[in-house]
Chains A and B, each alone.
Chain A
Amino acid sequence: MATVLLPGSLLALFPGAARRHEVDGATVGAIIEALDRAVPGLRDRLVEAGPRLRPHINVFVDGVPADLATPVGRASLIHVVPAVSGG
């Protein structure tokens, strides 16, 4: 299973949700769908029409910038990171 680490600002929207998840999925998109089953509503916070990652959401698979189609390995480490943006 891949390991997914979610950011604190996202966890704040889902009280009780864990930061670390062990998830099966062949792509980043599949991983997010699996996360949405564990944390209903989470997909809509990360993915917009397209479908594609929201403009200020970054996902890294084993340290490499990724999109929804990026393949995920069985032992991959996935970081979800909100962009350094705002004011």
Chain B
Amino acid sequence: MTERVRLLVGTKKGAFILESDIARRAWTMRGPLCEGTAIHDMIVDPVSGAILAGGGSAWYGPSVWRSDDGGTTWSHSSAGMTYGDDQPAVVTVWSLATTPDGAILAGVEPAGLFRSEDGGATWAHVEGLTKHPTRPTWGPGAGGLIAHTIIPHPSDPARTWVGISAVGVFETRDGGATWEPRNVGVRAEFNPENRFPVTGQCVHKFALAAGEPETLYQRNHCGVYRSDDGSETWQEITGNLPTDFGFSLVAHPRDPDICWVIPLSAPEEGRFMPGAHAAVWRTRDRGATWTRSDDGLPTHDAFLSVLREAMARDTLDPVGIAFGTGTGQLWHSADDGDSWRMITDTLPEIWAVEADVVGD
């Protein structure tokens, strides 16, 4: 069987699909797909192989797009994606995930979670999250009040984590009926009256460590964190990273000690790569130390930003990592992040990148 690598790229003006052989040196590109809808997240359903894309149109509202033929033809739906006629309208979809029991979850703006049992054709509100007693206190981040990162527990279908900006991490252990904030130990420096509130943290992204379902890494507005107890508590691992700030984080597919982040300058200093010197930082020791990787990346005048869903890794060895910028550049490493090459610098504003390996 011949394997190919795909990069699924969500942009402000539609989705794009890039493909390469496993050398990951030469790429072909198709797009824009999804009729120009702004796409905030793209995933592959591991069971059906369907490509799913979530986003929204300023004209036509939120939608989850689905392709069962590798991106050639698409359907779309937001049927049932409503809080009710007396509640604010759902504006757009920000995040997608598949669950071990075959459902699809969608995180939306304003923040909430919807579940589909029929492959994305119809959606039902997961009311337990938005009925949480802290809901009246939830406030938006710069990107809005959005539910983004969704991580179903890999072996316990009753457990799921969700990130809400700027509210924090929540976890359900009863299939979505009730949720608990999971923000102990996470700083909220922008809250001078309480740096460690129960909710109000600005989680940007989090990921499970490979093979350790109780270990999570978190990229926050205020630092980087690791939890070794299933998100009950977090310890800061910002360490020698150049700044507190950034959006993206990916974890190694096999080694729980390794993850990558892209630090950005502080919000009040532009939110671009520090010193306009592009770099990805990697830890090999669970966050105790971080090492800069910039071989092939621009070392000056690189006023680049990378958003929360815009970095991804494949499952090959060595690991391939890709990130997309707010100015439409798509960068790739085929060697665990040791060196980088630009695939294209002419895409629209990139919101999401996903990587997967498929066989012919």
Contact = CB atoms under 8 A, between A and B. Distances in A.
Interface of A: 9-10, 12-13, 41, 44-46, 48-51, 54, 56-57, 82-83, 85-86
A41 B79 contact: yes
B60 A50 contact: no
Contact of B77 (A41, A46, A51, A85): A41
B90 interface: yes
B305 interface: no
Contacts of B342: none
A44 B77 contact: yes
Dominant secondary structure at the B interface: loop
A41 B89 contact: no
B47 interface: no
Given A9-B60, A48-B82, A86-B58, 8 more contacts: A10-B59, A12-B35, A13-B60, A45-B61, A49-B86, A49-B87, A54-B59, A56-B59
Contact of A49 (B35, B79, B83): B83
B60 A45 contact: yes
B78 A82 contact: no
Nearest to A14: B76
Interface residues of B, number: 19
B61 A51 contact: no
A82 B61 contact: no
Interface string B177-220: 00000000000000000000000000000000000000000000
Contact of A54 (B60, B76, B79): B60
Contacts of A57: 59-60
B84 interface: yes
A49 B302 CA distance: 42
Given A41-B76, A49-B85, A82 B90 contact: no
Counting from the closest, the 6 A-B pairs by CB-CB distance are: A48-B89, A45-B60, A49-B89, A82-B59, A12-B35, A56-B59
Given A41-B77, A41-B79, A44-B79, A9 B84 contact: no
Contact of A44 (B78, B83, B85, B88): B78
B77 A54 contact: no
Contacts of B58: 56, 85-86
Nearest to B34: A13
